[in-house]
Amino acid sequence: MDLLLPLKIAARALRVNLMRSFLTMLGIMIGIGAVIVMVAVGTGATKQISDQIATMGSNLLLILPGSTTSGGVHAGMGSQPTLTIDDVKAIRTECPSVLRVAPELRGSAQLVAGNMNWSTELTGTTPDFLQIREWKLASGREMTSVDVDTGQKVCILGQTVATNLFGDEDPTGKQVRIKGVPFLVIGLLESKGRSAQGSDQDDVVFLPFSTAQRKILGNSFPGTVGPTLVQAVSQAQISQAETEIIALLDQRHRMSATKERDYTVRNLSELLAVSQQSAKTMSVLLGAVASISLLVGGIGIMNIMLVSVTERTREIGIRMAIGAKERDILLQFLAEAVLLTMLGGAIGIVLGVAGAFLISHFLGWATLISSQSIVLAVVFSSAIGIFFGFYPARKAAALNPIDALRYE
């Protein structure tokens, strides 16, 4: 038997009722399109979070000072200067699982270059910071330990700051004034884009920690540091590094079982992994919700095919009378159902791709259309045609030829 014959007959039957065929396909078109759009939005969000995680660096721990209790009042994390520069040095030298440590001292200030000015965030830190964040330079050089030890008046600019102060010029080697103090720009950072919280990571200036503490941001408690980034030797050693840091700081701060810790250690890799998993879960949920419309479309196809069997009972009887077998009738109606869903699926794929593009263009949402989602849409549309078309086709094939010929 020619396998293309049922498809040819099916195509001829569908052309007879073009409007009904289109309305029947509508459910599948909307369903496939919705699935592709929702999966594209979910996948795009997951990739965006993955990219943001990559900008943070790898194998990260964050030590936050504060979280002390006084007179029954609990102070928030970072509210008390409980970490010192000696703690940072001890972590670097006494914790084997720690690769790098970088304390931070943050504040804001107005930068002036010529007749341009820009208010931004200042971060006093050490050379390890850029390596921990895996932040490369577009030009210039990195901060050195000599810059920190001698309190040099040098700075590294983020792309946003450089653009607002110097336009398209390379700021390396030029001077900026921070709170009236002249600083030499020694480097320009590559762009990092926005963080997971939506803030501009490029709107920042990095200074040597000692310079920021003594000359720009000040410190009411000399020798203390703010939040401190720690990088473990490897992903597998993050937990070990956390254990070593806690044991060391407990010893140095004379912590006991009855005394609340005056610092907090957070595993940033775990927090960011949770965000990524949440995005993946949301992607699956969006796809599942959109898939409901596929079910509705499949039921619509089954209903129309049942109506078609009833309308064409006499035609079925004639075909059987001239020698058509049950298998031929079954394949004929099954081919019609599959052809409907395949055509609807093809149009749905086009609508889904266009919808994802429009969402990305007009709403600014990150979308990512994968070849897997399109293949999945094709497989789904074929499966729906076979599943929902089988019962009407089986009913048509099971008709008694004599009863079918006598049907009015």
Instruction: Give percent above pLDDT 90 in the chain.
Output: 26
Helix, strand, coil shares, percent, the chain, to 5: 55, 20, 25
Q: What is the pLDDT of residue 220?
A: 66
Per-residue pLDDT tens over the stretch 220-278: 677 788 889 999 998 888 889 999 999 999 898 888 777 788 888 888 766 666 666 76
β-pairing verdict for 181-189 and 175-178? antiparallel
Highest-confidence segment of 164-173, 262-271, 313-322, 393-402: 164-173
Whole-number average pLDDT of the chain = 80
Task: Report whether 344 contacts 28 (CB < 8 A).
Answer: yes
Q: What is the pLDDT of residue 147?
A: 93
Q: What is the pLDDT of residue 276?
A: 64
84 phi/psi in degrees, rounded to 5? -120, 165
Per-residue pLDDT tens over the stretch 101-149: 999 988 899 999 989 999 999 999 999 999 988 889 999 999 999 999 9
> Can you read off the two tokens belonging to residue 237?
């050693």
Q: Where does the pLDDT of residue 52 fall: very low under 50, low under 70, confident under 90, or very high at 90 and above?
A: low
For 266, which DSSP code? E
* Average pLDDT of the residues in 347-372: 82
What single letter denotes the amino acid at residue 80? Answer: Q
Q: Where does the pLDDT of residue 38 fall: very low under 50, low under 70, confident under 90, or very high at 90 and above?
A: confident
Q: How many residues does the chain have?
A: 408
Per-residue pLDDT tens over the stretch 200-210: 889 999 999 99
Q: Which residues contact 140 (CB under 8 A, 6 or more apart)?
A: 156, 172, 173, 185, 186, 187, 188
Highest-confidence segment of 199-213, 278-292, 346-360, 363-377: 199-213
Q: What is the pLDDT of residue 73?
A: 46
User: Is pLDDT at 71 greater than 70 in this prediction?
Assistant: no
Residue given tokens 């263009």 in the structure block: 361
Closest CA to 165 of 152, 153, 178: 178
Q: What is the pLDDT of residue 367?
A: 80
* Average pLDDT of the residues in 400-406: 63
Q: What is the pLDDT of residue 69?
A: 47
Q: What is the pLDDT of residue 406?
A: 62
* Average pLDDT of the residues in 13-27: 76
Per-residue pLDDT tens over the stretch 274-309: 666 766 677 677 667 767 777 777 777 787 777 777
Q: What is the pLDDT of residue 189?
A: 94
Q: What is the pLDDT of residue 50?
A: 66
Closest CA to 333 of 350, 363, 311: 311
Residue extents of the structural domains in the chain: 4-52+275-406, 105-225
Q: What is the pLDDT of residue 335?
A: 78
Closest CA to 84 of 97, 65, 68: 65
* Average pLDDT of the residues in 6-15: 70
User: Is pLDDT at 359 greater than 70 in this prediction?
Assistant: yes
> Can you read off the two tokens belonging to residue 106?
């943050």
